[in-house]
Structure 1
Amino acid sequence: MSTEKNPLGVFLRDRRSRLDPATFGFSGRRRTPGLRREEVAQRSNISPTWYTWLEQGRGGAPSADVLNRIASGLMLTEPEREHLFMLGLGRPPEVCYRVAAGVSPRLQRLIDTLDASPALVRTAAWDIVAWNRAATIVMTDYDRLAPDERNILRLLFCNPTIRTFQHDWEAMARFVVGAFRADAARAGATSEIADLVDELCRASPDFDRLWRENEVISHGEGTKRLKHPDLGDIELEYSGFAVDGRPDLNLVVYNPIDPAVAEQIRRQVKEKQRTGQRVSAPELLGASGRSKTNGKPHARSREGT
């Protein structure tokens, strides 16, 4: 069968040819580099005949389980595993959630360039794992919080002072719970958030009530309104972005609508950089606002955090 008609086989042969047999305890003289087909089959716990057929383009489409075993046997990276599924099944693999250990230095440097736009990176469990200086001014100084306190839902539902910063706390809280549920499902983290959900249901009757409503909401774009103690009543547009290769992470950037507010934030960021001192900020100002689609508000209110 020609290369053009069997891209899966070409990809498999290429990846096994790159592996060092000695690394996996295989020995013996070889005419070609890499692992033999039967060795890949052994590492993948599948039939050598079935694996040979895959490389030869015979036997029909493989199952997702077989592809996952081969990906493990060939030690594929996540992008390579996704490519394997696209070749074998015409779709990406199911999302496999992993707990975020932080963000790359490149991503941190990127959000640090936004001197007037607060930016946050959150996990599917809504833990904040990265932020810029503008966020410490407009939201809260996450450096002052312990890692387990940097969770939006814990702050929102377990700290009564949060309500005083909201224009419409009820609508905002309902939006947050629905978006949280959607994010967890999208990242394949439904079972991983179970303990957090149980904790919040016990700690907050409001969260328990809203969680039982089973609402699912997208958190793509919208408007966020804050009662800021220094900046006054402000309004920001926000957009959410998936982090490529990390389905567990979401980048949210907030852009002040009023240029005067943006300039105030920029000045405070510069002052913070100059002095190296912390800038006081309210404890996670969750926002109230109208989510937008093509610049038009939805019929019902959408609240952002």
Structure 2
Amino acid sequence: MTAKTQRRRPELAAFLRTRRARVTPADVGMAPGLRRRTPGLRREEVAQLSGVGVTWYTWLEQGRPINASAQVLDAVARTLRLDQAEREHLYHLAEVPYVPGPAAEAQTVSPEVQGIIDGLDPLPAVVYNARYDMLALNAAYRALFPSLAVAPRSERNALWQLFSHPDCCSMFINRAHELPLMVATLRGGYGRHVGEPAWEGFIHRLLGASEEFGRMWHSGDVAPPGSRIKVVRHASVGELRLISTSLVIQGAPESRVVVYTPSDEQSHALLARLRTIDDPLIGCPRHARRVSEILAERAAVMDADTKDPASL
């Protein structure tokens, strides 16, 4: 037994005893019985409800050097009504690799998180989920990436904006370096969602829209989110060099805050200038249009749809 195991076993024993003490027979549909001196469940009751031997569970709770499988720990966790944090803690103490179950993918952020990214202004900040759906943004990010900010809800996805628009209108000058990393990050998230309709539909849609995405996707590369320099071309102010930093949000499954910090004085000045422009441009010099034009055009289309009897 290693020194680390020797320290963990007493912690495991104490943890199991406290969790067992808080679960009453009524909680698990058992009669309380007479002359019950133990608070909560007895050891033999936990063993019975978990489908394991009484001796084995007793040894586990005594901190003896026995092996436990993930299946058995899951059964004990269900009996003791452990939440996700407690279940993970149990796995760590028993020295069994923890694999979290599927979690609902975040589609919104809390007011507290929105307040945090608003407080980061004048630094651009956005919240993405693992699929690069934009969940929240601040005013500085809206000015920096106006095409994403004004897109219809179904298209508020960073990868969709990058791969469905002409290359000349891409806001990344270092596109050849940045896009493969973003696709590799997407694939890292996809591994946890294989077969889910929302993910499979999104990947299928991107494959149909962009051969470039297809080449990067089929490379099989995987990468985690990380800090790197993004060279951004903005039609209103020119070229900015920004350091993107990803921050994990506790309690929001697979969501992250991405903050953009100017990497030099020129970029800092251009970012400040950009904040003074009320109606920024979107696109390259050849196709540039103002945000107000795009919004007015979209409003006219929506108005026409509501007046068309076929749309009712």
TM over 0.5: yes
Q: Which residue of 2 aligns with 1:86?
A: 92
- Kindly indicate whether residue 187 of structure 2 is the aligned counterpart of residue 178 of structure 1: no
Deviations 1:23-60 (A, max 9, x none): 33233143233233344345544444433332122461
**Tell me, what secondary structure is at the counterpart of 2:146?**
coil
Q: Which residue of 1 aligns with 2:139?
A: 133
Q: Give how far 1:88 is off.
A: 0.4
CA 1:59–1:175 in 2, change beyond 3 Å: closer, same or farther?
closer
Matches within 5 A, 1:218-233: 218-233=224-239
In the alignment, structure 2 segments of 5+ residues that lack a partner are 1-5, 284-312
Q: Which residue of 2 aligns with 1:264?
A: 273
* Greater radius of gyration (CA): 2
Q: Which residue of 1 aligns with 2:121?
A: 115
Q: Give how far 1:75 is off.
A: 2.6
| More off after superposition, 8-17 vs 20-29 | 20-29
Q: Give how far 1:213 is off.
A: 1.3
Percentage of identical aligned residues: 35
Q: Which residue of 2 aligns with 1:196?
A: 202
- Kindly indicate whether residue 73 of structure 2 is the aligned counterpart of residue 67 of structure 1: yes
Q: Within 2, Cα distance between the matches of 1:280 and 1:40?
A: 64
Please say if residues 107 and 129 of structure 2, whose CA atoms lie closer than 8 Å, have aligned partners that are also in contact: no
CA 1:87–1:246 in 2, change beyond 3 Å: closer, same or farther?
farther
Q: Give how far 1:115 is off.
A: 0.9
Q: Within 2, Cα distance between the matches of 1:121 and 1:189?
A: 19
Q: Within 2, Cα distance between the matches of 1:74 and 1:12?
A: 8
Please say if residues 194 and 200 of structure 2, whose CA atoms lie closer than 8 Å, have aligned partners that are also in contact: yes
Q: Within 2, Cα distance between the matches of 1:46 and 1:101?
A: 40
**Tell me, what secondary structure is at the counterpart of 1:154?**
helix
CA 1:219–1:33 in 2, change beyond 3 Å: closer, same or farther?
same
Q: Give how far 1:238 is off.
A: 1.1
Q: Within 1, Cα distance between the matches of 2:48 and 2:106?
A: 32
**Tell me, what secondary structure is at the counterpart of 1:121?**
strand
CA 1:74–1:132 in 2, change beyond 3 Å: closer, same or farther?
farther
> Which of 250, 253, 256 is matched with 1:250 structurally?
256
Amino acid corresponding to residue 180 of structure 1 in structure 2: L
Q: Give how far 1:255 is off.
A: 1.0
From the two aligned structures, give the one with the greater helix fraction.
2
Q: Give how far 1:189 is off.
A: 3.1
When the two structures are superposed, what TM-score results if normalisation uses the length of structure 1?
A: 0.75
Amino acid corresponding to residue 178 of structure 2 in structure 1: M
Matches within 5 A, 1:1-305: 5-29=9-33, 30-58=36-64, 60-89=66-95, 91=97, 93-98=98-103, 99-140=105-146, 144-160=150-166, 163-185=169-191, 188-192=192-196, 193-244=199-250, 246=252, 248-257=254-263, 258-264=267-273, 282=282
Deviations 1:88-147 (A, max 9, x none): 0165x1243421243333322211101111112222222222222221121237665454
CA 1:142–1:205 in 2, change beyond 3 Å: closer, same or farther?
closer
Q: Within 1, Cα distance between the matches of 2:86 and 2:45?
A: 20
Please say if residues 97 and 248 of structure 1, whose CA atoms lie closer than 8 Å, have aligned partners that are also in contact: no
| More off after superposition, 101-110 vs 122-131 | 101-110
CA 1:76–1:208 in 2, change beyond 3 Å: closer, same or farther?
same
Q: Within 2, Cα distance between the matches of 1:142 and 1:45?
A: 53
CA 1:59–1:223 in 2, change beyond 3 Å: closer, same or farther?
closer
Q: Within 2, Cα distance between the matches of 1:22 and 1:3?
A: 34
Q: Within 2, Cα distance between the matches of 1:42 and 1:147?
A: 51
CA 1:43–1:253 in 2, change beyond 3 Å: closer, same or farther?
farther
In the alignment, structure 1 segments of 5+ residues that lack a partner are 272-278, 284-305
Please say if residues 221 and 240 of structure 1, whose CA atoms lie closer than 8 Å, have aligned partners that are also in contact: yes
Aligned residues: 270
